[in-house]
A and B are shown apart, each in its own frame.
Chain A
């Protein structure tokens, strides 16, 4: 049985495909949406324990997507992944994210941070 369920929201299909496969290999149920609108829609009828959200998304931005998720699902922790070299340099840093993860992501680090976000414990 899966430890928890995670939804990736990122338009880099090949990246999330691979991350999903690697997490499933570790008995973590993972899936993805390629844009904010479809992620918002999916979260309305499917339960996830954590969301991993990219800031740069086509159409509705990552920041706007985060706002909607926080409003509609205040209990679901959202971790932001970003290609920015430094989190401090993000101009439109949205409020409401649990944590920022710079790309490239280390899979074990990602799992640890997801667990912490779900349980509410510091890593």
Chain B
């Protein structure tokens, strides 16, 4: 039996939404696990210091301050992860409707950053100052962005940068996923991704220029609930 994920996605496209959710949840809970591990060890370190203090070794003020800082920083990091994951989960509450594209991209980028950093690359986002409101399928839009990112990441290496941006204007906005690299890269193959863009009525293009290859997803300002 061939368990290659691309084959599974080709045969059972409906399951890819579930797979996408699972991938995002798994990655975010890994991050949360790291946060909890840090808090757990920091609490253990404090216990070590208290044990030493009971045996006559005073706890240096600087050590206590470091522990307090670590607890605060990583508690805040955990809260941010939960906030983004919760927002992602609620993006499927209303399968179709109006939403803010900037907010959607901002939230999704926080959840997918780890996929980029695991390639040894850095993710940046660039959003227009004006908020882009569209009517579409928000969960599906995120899934297509993530799948496009996966295609871009298949070419990404250590030291590269990946840029996620919105280009164009409200009536004609495009989400651009760009690999910035000095290496010569092949043009991304979009044939598989095109199977998933029908419902959100998005056009896709891929192109390359000196120092970058990219995929653009054209998001119409309004897509009917009856689409596809």
Whether A1 sits at the interface, judged by CB under 8 Å, is no
Interface contact B119-A22, CB-CB below 8 Å: no
Whether A75 sits at the interface, judged by CB under 8 Å, is no
Interface contact B38-A22, CB-CB below 8 Å: no
Q: Which residues of A contact B38 (CB under 8 A)?
A: 12, 14-15, 18
Number of interface residues of B (CB under 8 A): 22
Whether A45 sits at the interface, judged by CB under 8 Å, is no
Range class of the A interface residue count: 20 to 34
Q: How far is the CB of B123 from chain A (nearest CB, A)?
A: 12
* Bound Cα distance from A22 to B120, whole angstroms: 29
Q: A56-B118, A58-B158, A59-B119 are in contact. Are A104 and B42 (CB under 8 A)?
A: no
Main DSSP-derived SS at the B contact region: helix
Interface contact B70-A14, CB-CB below 8 Å: yes
* Bound Cα distance from A90 to B82, whole angstroms: 23
Whether B103 sits at the interface, judged by CB under 8 Å, is no
* Bound Cα distance from A33 to B7, whole angstroms: 37
Q: How far is the CB of B9 from chain A (nearest CB, A)?
A: 15
Q: How far is the CB of B30 from chain A (nearest CB, A)?
A: 4
Which of A12, A22, A58 is in CB contact (< 8 Å) with B34?
A12
Residue interface mask A29-65, B partner, CB < 8 A = 1? 0000001000000000000000000001111000000
Contact residues of A with B, CB < 8 Å? Answer: 11-12, 14-15, 18-19, 21-22, 25, 35, 56-59, 83-85, 103-105, 107
In the A-B complex, the 4 residue pairs with the smallest Cβ-Cβ separation, listed nearest first, are A59-B120, A83-B33, A104-B37, A18-B41
